[in-house]
Every structure is written in structure tokens, then in C-alpha cells.
Chain A
């Protein structure tokens, strides 16, 4: 297999090593744990090819060799999506508690804050996309694998409610390993809470575009991520309810490599379209324009 060839090659590559001590805990992540070192050079977690950080940044953190869309921090995503200086954050002070007094949760929350530079796994706010106003919620996998606890559910619900009140379109970028099990039932109920808020938003005729990024599984995929009027995914994004390992254990079969990718889901009718990251902003602007959203600079009429 080609993959094996690349794996071997990896051994010879020398890269500035800042890997130690940056351990990220992909609890529910599907991909192997590999760090992208900060600095001059970057290594693609998928194909292992080395590229200049500046080049990678210009390419929206998409590998120029294999096209892998690297996972983005919420702030990077906002920078790539929202017009410069147009973003106003909502509820930036909402933080998780440890309502179940779950062993190790409080200290893990502190770690996640340091690691991601965020206070929780979602950033919400309002901004312009190609001049079109929209309410945004952007999840971040580097905070607690994007898991949904009370704060994620609350911030997303509040964002939906703002969009409903102000009659603005809503765009949610999802990425999540699923439920925040340290908040157990409270976490599960956020699925119902966000979905109920979306039900009201849809009843009022609001436009909701869901953007699925790698990976989106569990409680997030089975609630707001799948409730968009239009559902877009980034190429290769893993998206599904149950994780690959659990499914393989259930059916006692090895799954094909493309299982649960965006392309697989497109083929099975679960998505509207797959959009390369470099085209995503233009796609969103175009869709906002097609829905008669007022504003806009990028699209000619």
C-alpha cells in the first residue's frame, strides 16, 4: 500500500522537534496522534510531507502535497472566514464548571485552556462574510476534542437565539468528538437544547448553513450539525455518529479507508456539497447572496 511507503519515509525526515510536552488527547479522534510543530516548517499529519509554515498558512493550512485539510483552531477559522475586523464575539466569559464533580475534570479543563488558548470548545459571535452579516459559531477540536458540555450547548443556543431575534443567517462550523462525558446527562441534553432552538429558528424562516469539519461525530453530528438548510463539508472530513473503532467492533469487519469521509457522506446523500477550504468563504458568500441576505461586496448582481 502507498500508505506504508509514506510511513517508512517518515522515519528519515528531520524536523524541529517540539513534540514533547504538547501531547494532545484525541479521546474520540479518528486519526493517529501526530503533532504539527510550530515554527519554520510544518509536517502534514496525513502524508508526512514537510512544508514551510508561511506557505501552509497561505494555503489555508491545506497540505499542498496531499490536500489534507488540517484541523483549525476556532480563531484561525474565524480569521479565514470572516472579513477583517468585523467579528464581535458573544459570551466570551462563559466557562465550564464541574457539576458532577467528575474525577480529573477540573484539572483537565485548565490544561485544555492552556493548550488551545480558548476558554471553551466553541467561539460564537457576529461578523461579515464577503460583506454579508451572519451569526457564527465556530468549534475548536483542540479544546477537549471539541466535546459538547453545558457551555458549548449554551453558547450555541444563545447564538441561535440572537440570529432568531435579529433575523440574521446562522453559520455553524462543527468539529467534535461528541459528548463531554464528564458532564454526562447535562452534556446529552445540550443536543435537545440546541435542536429545539434551531427548530424555532427554522420556524421563523431563518437560514442556517452547517459546515462540517474534521472530525464531527457523536452528539454534535446527531444534533445541530445535521440540521442545516444547507450542509457543507470540507474534503476528507470524517463525519458520522459512531466512531470507526466502535463500528468495526460491532460488525466485526474492517471498514474501507474512505468510510465516513465527506466524499462518502456526499455519495450517501448526507451532505449538500464538499467545498475546498480555499473556496469556502466564496461559497458561503454566494449562498448568503442567493438567500437575499442584505449587504455583500464580493458578489456582483
Chain B
């Protein structure tokens, strides 16, 4: 196993024990197969215990795992014939957002998503997946293009949030996000959004106004990052775990609140354990969702999307 999380320590420990026993047996020529089988059983049990009861903060750490598949990793596995398109035609090409044309099960679609880096250098070039206004504008340009040619739109959401820097502010970060929210509400093609990692704040939502919103099992989605909430509420960003528990950020929570429509299962231990398994689960869900939405006319798609967001909110009318 690589890239273990702290909560996986008991598993790592046990795996080590099994391996030691195997090695010892091989060296001394003693048959431990019965003991090993028992330990393997116990290991599977423990695995079930650890992974079926992940806390929100543990999921948050999985969602942020440095080996978690990124948009480009998944695009390559979910779609065929991907042609990446660049630029917002106004300022530049924000590498924190990727997008282009591809085929989903033979059907041409437009796909856009936030893109984290794979290593430090890549992360710097991609602003750790936090888009500038030009990133949101690039995404919108591609979505408008899809709208013109009647292609369904798939968005992959994975960002800590919009880039919080002075250059982003000067170029209209608020305007770029706001415009995406408004324009996505008017798209006359099916829009399916999948939160694949971290859905952080307005920067995530700017790609998130879809007819269907799906979340990977261990992904998170919130108005403010648990770190940000902790630093505001308790003046202590290190209490992020505590904030994560209170904020209802998991896929399960959001499904219960009817903010999302579906949870896409991840391989045991998280999406980073198998990119292929993760991609094929997303692909299956996308094909199914798209089939459902294809039955709707453009007007019905608009109406359905409006109704979906219109009903969100809990309040008292006294």
C-alpha cells in the first residue's frame, strides 16, 4: 500500500505482521499457512471496519489525498477521443481548468473540470487547482460552445476554491463566478456535474449548476473549507477536523439534504487505490444519467435544473 492515511495505521501494522510471518516461515521452512489465512481473514474484517465507518474528517483527508485521481486522469479513462481546448479568448489560458471535446460511450460531449497538479511544479503552474477568472471564463466558453452544437456537458469538480489572490480580484473573480452561475442556468443541453475530490465554495459551484450533481463516495462539498470555517469560528485552522464533522460535507450528507442526486462508489480505501475502478464507476453513472436526461426537451431541461436549485434551503415561514 502506498500513501496510507493515519487512520489506516492498524491495517498497515497487520499487513506488516502477515508479511513478517510469511518471510519467517519461508526462511525457517515452517508452514504457517493456517495462521496466515486466519490473519488474512482478520485483516479483511478490520478493513471492513475501517473503511465502512469513515468519519467526515477522514473522508476529507481522502478527498485531498495527493494520489487521488485528477480530472485529466479520469478524463483519459472515462472518455475516448479527448481533444483539449484552451483559453478564455480574453486574457489567458488558466491551467487550473481543463476542458475540451470527447466521446462518452461514443457520444460527443464537452467536458470541463478543475485540475490539480500531479507534483509541485505542476501544482504551481495550475495554482493547486484554484481557478482565476480566466479559468471560469474558459469553462463558460466551452459550455457555450457545447450549447451551440447541442452537446451534453460533463463537469468534474475538484478545487479548494477560487484562487484568492489580488490578480484574480482585479480581473473580476466575483463577476466570473456569478456569470457562470447565471449562464449555466440557461444552458439548453444536459449538464451533469461530478464532484471527484474537493468541492470548495464558489469556485466549485461555478462548474456545478447541473441537471444532475453526482459525488464520488469520499469527496466533500461545502460553502467554505473546513480549515477556513475553523479559523473563523475558533480562530484556529488546525481544528479543521472538528469543523468537518459539524459542517455536513460528505456525499451522504448532501444526498440526504437533496443537494445531490447520486453517490458514485469508490474502490475500497479510496479513489487513489484504483483509477480504473473509479473511472468505470463514474462512466457507468454518467451514461445512465445522460440516458435519463436525453428524454427531456431543452425547455424541460431548463425547468428541471431551475426546480432542482429553487427548492434548496431550509427555513420557517411563521
Contact = CB atoms under 8 A, between A and B. Distances in A.
Interface residues of A, number: 65
Interface string A144-187: 00000011011001000000000000000000001111011111
Given A199-B186, A242-B162, A27 B232 contact: yes
B67 to A, nearest CB: 25
Nearest to A93: B318
Given A157-B310, A193-B313, A225-B174, A219 B259 contact: no
B315 A95 contact: yes
A154 B317 CA distance: 11
Interface string B167-179: 0111111110111
B171 to A, nearest CB: 8
B30 interface: no
A241 B162 contact: yes
A247 B166 CA distance: 6
Interface string A176-220: 001111011111111111011111101100000000000000110
Interface in B186-237: 186, 201-202, 205-206, 208-209, 221-224, 228-229, 232-233
A240 interface: yes
B10 interface: no
Contact of A196 (B173, B221, B247, B309): B309
A240 to B, nearest CB: 5
Contacts of A240: 169, 173-174
A299 interface: no
A173 B312 CA distance: 23
B235 to A, nearest CB: 11
A97 B172 CA distance: 33
A150 B315 contact: yes
B21 interface: no
Interface in A117-158: 150-151, 153-154, 157
Contacts of B259: 185-186, 189
B162 A183 contact: no
A183 B259 CA distance: 13
Contact of A188 (B183, B185, B222, B233): B222
Interface in B75-108: none
Contacts of B286: none
Contact of A226 (B166, B178, B317, B318): B178
Contacts of A198: 182
Given A196-B306, A218-B202, A223-B178, A181 B229 contact: yes
A181 B247 contact: yes
B56 to A, nearest CB: 11
Contacts of A32: none
A6 interface: no
A40 B174 CA distance: 40
A219 B203 CA distance: 10
A203 B186 contact: yes
A192 B168 CA distance: 21
B123 to A, nearest CB: 14
B288 interface: no
A23 interface: no
A125 B317 CA distance: 16
A116 interface: no
A181 B247 CA distance: 8
A52 interface: no
A5 interface: no
B310 A196 contact: yes
Given A196-B182, A241-B162, A184 B313 contact: no
Interface in A229-269: 239-243, 246-247, 250-251, 253, 255, 259-260, 268-269
A190 B309 CA distance: 8
B169 A195 contact: no
Contacts of B111: none
A222 B177 contact: yes
Tell me which of A179, A180, A185, A187 has the highest count of chain B C-beta atoms within 10 A of its own C-beta.
A185
A105 to B, nearest CB: 10
B306 A191 contact: no
Max chain B Cβ within 10 angstroms of own Cβ: one of A199, A227, A259: A199
Given A193-B309, A251-B165, A97 B315 contact: yes
A192 B211 CA distance: 12
Contacts of B124: none
Interface of A: 27-28, 91, 93-97, 99-100, 102-103, 150-151, 153-154, 157, 178-181, 183-193, 195-200, 202-203, 218-219, 221-227, 239-243, 246-247, 250-251, 253, 255, 259-260, 268-270
Q: Which 6 A-B pairs have the closest CB atoms?
A: A150-B313, A242-B164, A195-B181, A196-B185, A99-B314, A188-B223
Given A93-B318, A224-B178, 9 more contacts: A28-B232, A179-B224, A195-B209, A196-B305, A241-B177, A247-B164, A251-B166, A253-B166, A269-B172
16 contacts: A93-B317, A150-B315, A151-B315, A181-B224, A181-B247, A183-B223, A184-B249, A185-B221, A186-B259, A190-B312, A219-B201, A222-B162, A223-B181, A250-B165, A255-B166, A270-B174
